[in-house]
C-alpha cells in the first residue's frame, strides 16, 4: 500500500496463500492473490464457520493457488494509522469453490472460501483405545460378583435358619445373629440387642452371645449338633462374604475403568471439563495423523493448528473450574466442530482462531468492554440503523425430550407476569440426548429457554461506511466486544456485537454491517467495574459517555498482566540522621497469581490407561495422575 492514502484507499484487503505445515513444520508463505475485488467476509460470535467471497480474473497473479484445495488463505486488513497489515481473528480460510459464467468474456471468476475452523468438521470421534478390553473386563467382573452375591445369600439363609433355632432353645428372644471374622467390634458398629448370638470365623466358628455389656462364650454342652452346624455355617458365611467383598472391589475398579469408554455407539466422558475432553480428542487425532504418515504434531498440533489450551487450563492460562465439569457423551463419528458447538450451546465455552492458534475459553472469555472507545452514531459512520422485532419465538414452558425418549416440562420464569399470555403459558420443544432428569433438563437447556422467554425480540444492525478516522471493525473491535450505540431516544446503550460483515473493492470504501445482540439478551458479562443497570430491556450505562472519544491503539493479542491480591503488608518508619525527617517504607506480599481450584472430591481420580491389555484383578484402571499437557504449546504463534 502507498504511504499516503486518501478516499477509498484509506482501507484495503490482502489475500495471502500459505502451504500448511505437516506436524510441527511451519506454514510457508506461497504468495499473494492479486486483483481481488467485490470482497465479502463474515465474522460471528456463535462459533459457526464463516465464509469469504471475492472476484478476481483467472489470469491474475496468484490465481493458480485457488485451483486446488491445498492452501490456507489468510485475509489481512490495512490499518492506515499504524501503516501495516493486520490479520484479524478467524481470518484463515480453506476449501475454495468457484462460480464462473463460461459465456462471459470478462475472464472473471468468483471464489468462495470457508473458515479454517471447517477443518475441525473433518475430525471425527473414534472409540477409545482399549475399550473392548475394558468393557469385557467389566462384564466379567459383574458376572463374578453376582455369582458370589448369590452364594453369600444362600449361605447366609442357611446360617440364619440354624442360628434362630439355637436362639429359641436358649430362650434368647429379640436378639440378632451374626457371622464374622471376630466379634469384638460388632457392638461398636451395630446396634446389638441383648440375647444376640454370633459365630466368630477367626476361631473356627466359635459361638458367643451378648449379655448386654460384653460377648460371652456359648457352651456346646446342650444341643451340640445344632451348635456345631451353626459353627460350620458361620465359617462358610464369613468366607462367602469375604469373597463377595473382594469381587465387589474388583467390580468397583472395573466400573471406574468404563466410566470413559465406548458403549452402544457412544463415547462417555466422566466429570470432564470441556478443555479436558477436547484436549484428549485433539491428542488422539494428532496421533492418528502420525500413524498415517502425515507427520507427528505431538499433543498440541493437529491439522496444522496449534491448541493454546490444555486439559487443565484455558487459553488464558486459567484453570478449568470444577463447575465446568460434567458427565457427557457423544455419538461415535461426531466431529470436533459439532462437539465445540454443543459445548457452546450449553453456555460452557467460546472459541476462535488466532493465526494458527486455536483458542478455547469459558463462555464470555472473549468479551471486552469497548463502549468508551467505540460509539456508533448517525451522521458520522452510520448510514443505516434498521431494527426488527418479532413475537413468534416466545415460549416459557419447554418440553425437553431426552435421549431415552422421556420428556420433561421445564418452566422458565414461572413468577414473571408477562409469561402468562391471554392464551396461557405457551410451550416449545427442545431435544437433547444428554437429558435424563428434570434437573439436567433445566441445566442443559437454560440458555435456549432464556432466549425464547422474551415476549418481544428486537434485533438491531448498523451499516457503516468507514473513513480514515473511523474505528476499524476486526481491528479495533470484533464479535464478543461491547460497544456504545445511540438508540432512537438519543441515549447511548452498551451493546454486544454478534456478527460483523465486511465488504470492499479497490474503488469503493470499506463497508461494514454490524449485528448487535438482542435488547433482551441477558449475557453474563464480567467487567472489572460496575456494570450498567437494565432498564426497560435496554442496557443503559451509568454516568456520562464521551461523544467522540479518542481512539486507543488497536487491541493487542496479549492479555494485560494480572495483579494478584495482596496478602500481607508490613511498614516501618525511618528517620533521616541529617534532617530528622521521617519516611515510611511499606512492603507488600502477593499471593500466587494462579489460584488453586476449589477442592473437588474426584480430584484424586486420574486418567484412564489407554491399553488393550486391561485386567481389573491387578490394575485399577487409573494412572497416578493427570498432568497438565501444555508441554510444547507456544505462548504466541507468528502469522508468517
Say if residue 378's pLDDT is above 50: yes
- Number of helical H runs and strand E runs in the chain: 7, 33
Provide the pLDDT for residue 185: 64
Instruction: Give the chain's largest Cα–Cα span.
Output: 118
Provide the pLDDT for residue 578: 54
* E strands, 92-217, in order: 92-99, 108-115, 177-180, 197-200, 206-210, 215-217
Mind listing the pLDDT tens digit for each residue in 531-572?
222 222 222 222 222 333 333 333 333 333 334 445 456 677
Coil, strand or helix at 499:
strand
Mind listing the pLDDT tens digit for each residue in 54-85?
999 888 999 899 988 889 999 999 998 888 99
The C-alpha atoms of residue 507 and residue 10 are separated, in whole angstroms, by: 11
Question: Within 13 Å, how many C-alpha atoms sit on residue 163's CB side?
Answer: 29
The C-alpha atoms of residue 535 and residue 541 are separated, in whole angstroms, by: 10
Say if residue 638's pLDDT is above 60: no
Q: What is the mean pLDDT of residues 5-24?
A: 75
Say if residue 263's pLDDT is above 90: no
Helices in 292-408 by DSSP H: which ranges? 336-345
Question: Within 13 Å, how many C-alpha atoms sit on residue 120's CB side?
Answer: 23
Provide the pLDDT for residue 365: 92
Provide the pLDDT for residue 531: 25
Q: Place 96 in a pLDDT band, splitting at 50, 70 and 90.
A: confident
Considering the chain, what is the average pLDDT of its residues?
75
Q: Place 143 in a pLDDT band, splitting at 50, 70 and 90.
A: very high
The C-alpha atoms of residue 349 and residue 364 are separated, in whole angstroms, by: 8
Give the DSSP letter of residue 64. Answer: G
CA dihedral (435, 438, 444, 450) in degrees, to 10, reads 140
- Do the beta carbons of residue 57 and residue 35 sit within 8 Å? yes
Distances from the Cα of 466 to the Cαs of 229, 494, 501, 515, in angstroms? 98, 21, 13, 16
Mind listing the pLDDT tens digit for each residue in 308-357?
999 899 999 999 988 888 888 888 899 999 999 989 888 899 999 999 89
- Do the beta carbons of residue 73 and residue 52 sit within 8 Å? yes
Q: Which helix (H) or strand (E) holds 246?
A: helix 224-257
The C-alpha atoms of residue 603 and residue 622 are separated, in whole angstroms, by: 12
Crossing angle of helices 224-257 and 131-170, rounded to 10°: 160
Mind listing the pLDDT tens digit for each residue in 585-615?
776 654 333 323 223 333 333 332 233 344 4
Mind listing the pLDDT tens digit for each residue in 417-438?
667 776 777 777 877 777 777 7
Provide the pLDDT for residue 400: 83
The C-alpha atoms of residue 362 and residue 367 are separated, in whole angstroms, by: 11
The C-alpha atoms of residue 14 and residue 325 are separated, in whole angstroms, by: 42
CA 616, chain centre distance (Å): 31
Provide the pLDDT for residue 39: 94
- Do the beta carbons of residue 428 and residue 399 sit within 8 Å? yes
- Do the beta carbons of residue 598 and residue 321 sit within 8 Å? yes
Provide the pLDDT for residue 360: 95
The residue count for the chain: 640
Q: Place 254 in a pLDDT band, splitting at 50, 70 and 90.
A: confident
The C-alpha atoms of residue 549 and residue 374 are separated, in whole angstroms, by: 8
For the entire predicted model, the pTM comes to 0.65
Beta bridge partners of 76: 14
Q: Which helix (H) or strand (E) holds 44?
A: strand 37-44
Amino acid at each position: 500500500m502507498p504511504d499516503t492514502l486518501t478516499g477509498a484507499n484509506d482501507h484495503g484487503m490482502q489475500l495471502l496463500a500459505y502451504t500448511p505445515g505437516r506436524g510441527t513444520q511451519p506454514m510457508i508463505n506461497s504468495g499473494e492473490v492479486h486483483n481481488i475485488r467485490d470482497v465479502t467476509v463474515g465474522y460471528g460470535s456463535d462459533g459457526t464457520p464463516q465464509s469469504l467471497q471475492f472476484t478476481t480474473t483467472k489470469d491474475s497473479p496468484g490465481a493458480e493457488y485457488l485451483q486446488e484445495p491445498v492452501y490456507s488463505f489468510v485475509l489481512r486488513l490495512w490499518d492506515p494509522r499504524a501503516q501495516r497489515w493486520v490479520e484479524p481473528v478467524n481470518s484463515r480460510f480453506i476449501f475454495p469453490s468457484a462460480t464462473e459464467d463460461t459465456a462471459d468474456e470478462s475472464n472473471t471468476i468468483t471464489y468462495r472460501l470457508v473458515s479454517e475452523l471447517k477443518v475441525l468438521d473433518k475430525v471425527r470421534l473414534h472409540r477409545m483405545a482399549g475399550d473392548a478390553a475394558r468393557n469385557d473386563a467389566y462384564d466379567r467382573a459383574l458376572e463374578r460378583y453376582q455369582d458370589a452375591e448369590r452364594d453369600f445369600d444362600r449361605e447366609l439363609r442357611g446360617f440364619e435358619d440354624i442360628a434362630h433355632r439355637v436362639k429359641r432353645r436358649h430362650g434368647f428372644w429379640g436378639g440378632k445373629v451374626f457371622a464374622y471374622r471376630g466379634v469384638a467390634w460388632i457392638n461398636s458398629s451395630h446396634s446389638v440387642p441383648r440375647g444376640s448370638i454370633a459365630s466368630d470365623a477367626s476361631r473356627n466358628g466359635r459361638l458367643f452371645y451378648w449379655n448386654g455389656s460384653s460377648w460371652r462364650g456359648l457352651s456346646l454342652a446342650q444341643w451340640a449338633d445344632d451348635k456345631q452346624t451353626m459353627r460350620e455355617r458361620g465359617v462358610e458365611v464369613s468366607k462367602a462374604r469375604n469373597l463377595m467383598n473382594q469381587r465387589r472391589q474388583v467390580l468397583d475398579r472395573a466400573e471406574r475403568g468404563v466410566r470413559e469408554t465406548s458403549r452402544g455407539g457412544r463415547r462417555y466422558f466422566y466429570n470432564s471439563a470441556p478443555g479436558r475432553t477436547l484436549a484428549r480428542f485433539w491428542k488422539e487425532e494428532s496421533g492418528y495423523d502420525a500413524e498415517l504418515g502425515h507427520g507427528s504434531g505431538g499433543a498440541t498440533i493437529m491439522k496444522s493448528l496449534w491448541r493454546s489450551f490444555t486439559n487443565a487450563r484455558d487459553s488464558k492460562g486459567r484453570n478449568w473450574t470444577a463447575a465446568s465439569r460434567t458427565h457427557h457423551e457423544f455419538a461415535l463419528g461426531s466431529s470436533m466442530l459439532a462437539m465445540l458447538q454443543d459445548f457452546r450451546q450449553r453456555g460452557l465455552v467460546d472459541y476462535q482462531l488466532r493465526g494458527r492458534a486455536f483458542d478455547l475459553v469459558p463462555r464470555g472469555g472473549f468479551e471486552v468492554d469497548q463502549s468508551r472507545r467505540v460509539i456508533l452514531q448517525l451522521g458520522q459512520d452510520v448510514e443505516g440503523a434498521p431494527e426488527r422485532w418479532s413475537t413468534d419465538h416466545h415460549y416459557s414452558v419447554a418440553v425437553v425430550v431426552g435421549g431415552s425418549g422421556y420428556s420433561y416440562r421445564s418452566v422458565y420464569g414461572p413468577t414473571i407476569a408477562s409469561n402468562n399470555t391471554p392464551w396461557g403459558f405457551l410451550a416449545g420443544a427442545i431435544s437433547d440426548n444428554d437429558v435424563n432428569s428434570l434437573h439436567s433438563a433445566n441445566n442443559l437447556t437454560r440458555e435456549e429457554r432464556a432466549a425464547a422467554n422474551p415476549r418481544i425480540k428486537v434485533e438491531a444492525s448498523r451499516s457503516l461506511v468507514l473513513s480514515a478516522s473511523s474505528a476499524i471493525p476486526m481491528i479495533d473491535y470484533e464479535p464478543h466486544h461491547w460497544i456504545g450505540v445511540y438508540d432512537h431516544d438519543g441515549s447511548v446503550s452498551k451493546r454486544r456485537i454478534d456478527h460483523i460483515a465486511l465488504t470492499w473493492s479497490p474503488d469503493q470504501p470499506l463497508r461494514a454491517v454490524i449485528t448487535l445482540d438482542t435488547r433482551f439478551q441477558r449475557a453474563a458479562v464480567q467487567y472489572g467495574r460496575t456494570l450498567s443497570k437494565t432498564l426497560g430491556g435496554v442496557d443503559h450505562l451509568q454516568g456520562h459517555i464521551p461523544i467522540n472519544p479518542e481512539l486507543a491503539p488497536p487491541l493487542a493479542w496479549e492479555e494485560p498482566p494480572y495483579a494478584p491480591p495482596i496478602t500481607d503488608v508490613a511498614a516501618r518508619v525511618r528517620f533521616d540522621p541529617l534532617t530528622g525527617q521521617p519516611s515510611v517504607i511499606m512492603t507488600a506480599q502477593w499471593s500466587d497469581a494462579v489460584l488453586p481450584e476449589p477442592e473437588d472430591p474426584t480430584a484424586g481420580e486420574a486418567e484412564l490407561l489407554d491399553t488393550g491389555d486391561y485386567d481389573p484383578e491387578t490394575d485399577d484402571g487409573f494412572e497416578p495422575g493427570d498432568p497438565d499437557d501444555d508441554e510444547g504449546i507456544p505462548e504466541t504463534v507468528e502469522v508468517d
